[in-house]
Chains A and B, each alone.
Chain A
């Protein structure tokens, strides 16, 4: 009953278009005030303690690193590198766009920004060699989706933060420890590479079947120069992952390192960043981080209410009693997250849904890391599926195509994404193999 009231209130408030953070907080306050005897003052402390964890601080640092990199010519250099490697294949420019998007979105951490950065350079290039507009636009929209899966990924940090802290029990009653940021980062690598290959294969197949024009092969000298030019940007992924894996730094420290690193290469090696722009980049990053941290604060309040009303426990008991197995449950989760992806941005979805779904998943014996990867993949698909995926809107601005036409254009890659989601959902080893082999699980 109280669950129905809470969610009803939340949905009504959200539909008025008010910020998601405010609707979460207001739901909690009004429920506590009108429906319970819990003193509202108990909330006051949560407002501060909600974000005073060092793990959460990785979010502003990664945002800062991404903003430094987007600011400069890293995208252009990555495109050049990808083009010299595989530009001469069938649909080579398209594959190069996907590859460059994978590299760039990994370091920038933002899917729409990737679509703009890669799309604004690659789209005209693809049209000029004679690829059809639909084909080119489809490649661009889905390329940006790789960013959340290939670490460093802000969504993974948010998932780790929102599921940690509480104690949940597995199917046999054993205590299950939640997924750490480092484990999730490692778990994302293999699925990320597989997805990049699958998207490229789709691109290649369509280009090969329709016999799209090819571009001349680049010489090895050109490829080497392009590689050396882009290596500073690419090595950011190595710094973060390697640093965490080797135990040099915690994920948060790695994030701070990558922010300083990004600043140094943009400032002194690529020289794309002028000193007078630095405060602007800092302010934009602070603005974006504060928004996410504000949602985190209110989501912490919300999950405090959920816990005090025992809603996740009740739901997981209900699910286990009704005999739903993990296969059905994950199907429902996928549908739910894809639908939510239509109306909300990824960090809010994860912050609201993960604390509710996670205890059920654990109870059904799904590995926390595997579940995290499923959530992340869903968030990516949400960005590019019609009717309102954000990447679609961004790309429609660049390609000057209507949403309907673009939705059709995206279809082959969207189907690829859904097939991939199926794999990731029902083959846990895809996500768990690498961290387990490295001894991180």
Chain B
């Protein structure tokens, strides 16, 4: 139950962030050109959109951190598995487990370093240049995203140990096209 909520929350967060960032930049550019038209000038001039770029960057960094965790679940992080697939099933299982644990280790270390960094910032009054938001809130995505990613790696490892199944992202899947079994042979190198 808790896991289901976490899954949905993660998906909604990154969907919202990419959509909002796109709309913000679109509005900022539209604003820049519309303000040059005399008719709109008095209406639009008081609106200041200088913060749009900064907000967009922050949204995308947050999207990248949480999206990376979501990506572990969907198996989109590709690696070089030409060699691994040549191994015998037992050896392959061990190697895959090793790589999954390395993933968990790395994200855990990064998350902890990020947490320490955020904790340090928390005690300063550093703010972002345009929006003047406290910096520690912005940087909070590093520990949160990395710990979530670590959790996802462990989840995938547990699933793989039990069922031998790895999440696999099919990059040949093209939405909206009726193709019978697109890229059936692509599984070999895309994982």
Contacts and interface: CB of A to CB of B under 8 A. Distances in A.
Interface in B14-59: 14-15, 17-19, 21-23, 25-26, 28-29, 33, 53, 56-58
Contacts, number: 246
A249 B29 CA distance: 8
A257 B142 contact: no
Contacts of B172: 112-113, 115-116, 393-394, 397
A13 B186 contact: no
- Which of A17, A22, A53, A256 has the most CB atoms of chain B within a 10 A radius of its CB? A17
B57 A57 contact: yes
Contact of B174 (A113, A253, A286): A113
A345 interface: yes
B106 A20 contact: no
Interface residues of B, number: 77
B142 A47 contact: yes
Nearest to B99: A18
B139 A48 contact: yes
B61 A51 contact: yes
Contacts of B177: 70, 75, 116-117, 120
Interface stretch (A289-297, A311-319, A373-381, A425-433): A289-297
Nearest to A254: B29
Interface in A9-50: 13-23, 25-26, 29, 40-41, 43-45, 47-48
A293 B175 contact: no
Interface in B168-185: 169, 171-179, 181-185
A22 B113 CA distance: 16
B82 interface: yes
B183 A291 contact: no
A282 B67 CA distance: 12
B116 A18 contact: no
A397 to B, nearest CB: 4
A282 to B, nearest CB: 5
Contact of B80 (A20, A57, A393): A20
B22 A259 contact: yes
Interface residue SS majority, chain B: helix
Contact of A17 (B96, B113, B114, B116): B96
Contacts of A309: none
A20 B78 contact: yes
B130 interface: no
B95 interface: yes
A396 interface: yes
B175 A64 contact: no
Interface residue SS majority, chain A: helix
A267 B29 CA distance: 21
Interface of A: 13-23, 25-26, 29, 40-41, 43-45, 47-48, 51-54, 56-57, 60-61, 64, 67, 70-73, 75, 110, 112-113, 115-117, 120, 248-249, 252-253, 256-257, 259-260, 272-273, 277, 279-291, 293-294, 297, 342-345, 348, 388, 390, 393-394, 396-398, 403
19 contacts: A15-B83, A16-B99, A17-B96, A18-B79, A22-B103, A41-B113, A41-B117, A45-B117, A71-B175, A113-B174, A116-B182, A116-B183, A277-B175, A286-B18, A289-B64, A290-B64, A291-B71, A294-B71, A397-B186
Interface of B: 11, 14-15, 17-19, 21-23, 25-26, 28-29, 33, 53, 56-58, 60-61, 63-68, 70-71, 74, 76-84, 95-96, 98-100, 102-103, 105-107, 109-110, 113-114, 116-117, 139, 141-142, 169, 171-179, 181-186, 188-191
